[in-house]
Chains A and B, each alone.
Chain A
Amino acid sequence: DAGVTQSPTHLIKTRGQHVTLRCSPISGHKSVSWYQQVLGQGPQFIFQYYEKEERGRGNFPDRFSARQFPNYSSELNVNALLLGDSALYLCASSLGGLKGDTQYFGPGTRLTVL
């Protein structure tokens, strides 16, 4: 079975631009979460979506937004990019049930803002 997939793998943008990152969850998984990992740090929670509804939001500015589609894939959008947005963006999927499910991560998108 295919794992979580993310696109693109790498991305270079300049300050002020907009970026869209994409994630496809494992088949059968209905929950998708996004994390930002700055170099040398652990991942930080940005958003979680379940059944196309936002279920959690981390401490990130409104420049960050996301959505989940009927096929459970997801997009993360970042507007007005800042140098500090340079990071590895990770997507994770899980079944999304009553118990704390295991989250499976994709390979990430490396975003560089110049």
Chain B
Amino acid sequence: SQQGEEDPQALSIQEGENATMNCSYKTSINNLQWYRQNSGRGLVHLILIRSNEREKHSGRLRVTLDTSKKSSSLLITASRAADTASYFCATDAGFYSFGNEKLTFGTGTRLTIIP
């Protein structure tokens, strides 16, 4: 079963605009990760935010985490055509032990950047 739900399911914006995607999840987590997927291929890791962090930046990406609301957001600033992809949030809710890192994915947001 899916742990999270991304919102919106699909988003189309003009190149240069900012894109914001949201993720909600159901259980307590250890960390939350965002991934990008182009055309049904492999997942590219974007950023990991731990449960004791509230905000994290990486280049044009900004991720926030609100554990009280069980939600996260991914902001992509100054979007480019190459950002067109599906974006997934994934949560790690397992107990920390060697090798226990099962990820539970949301349903994804399909982002289209219009040149």
Residues on A lying within 8 angstroms of B by beta carbon are 4, 30-31, 33, 35, 37, 39, 41-45, 48-51, 53, 55-56, 58-59, 88, 90, 92, 94, 96-108, 110
Given contacts A102-B33, A103-B45, contact A56 B105 (CB under 8 A): no
Residues on B lying within 8 angstroms of A by beta carbon are 1-2, 30-31, 33, 35, 40-45, 48, 50, 88, 90, 92, 94, 96-108
| Distance A94 CA – B99 CA, assembled complex (angstroms) | 8
Given contacts A41-B107, A42-B107, A100-B30, contact A105 B44 (CB under 8 A): yes
Cβ contact of A88, chosen from B40, B96, B97, B98, cutoff 8 A: B40
| Distance A110 CA – B100 CA, assembled complex (angstroms) | 26
* A residues in contact with B100, CB < 8 Å: 48, 50, 55-56
Cβ contact of A48, chosen from B31, B102, B107, cutoff 8 A: B102
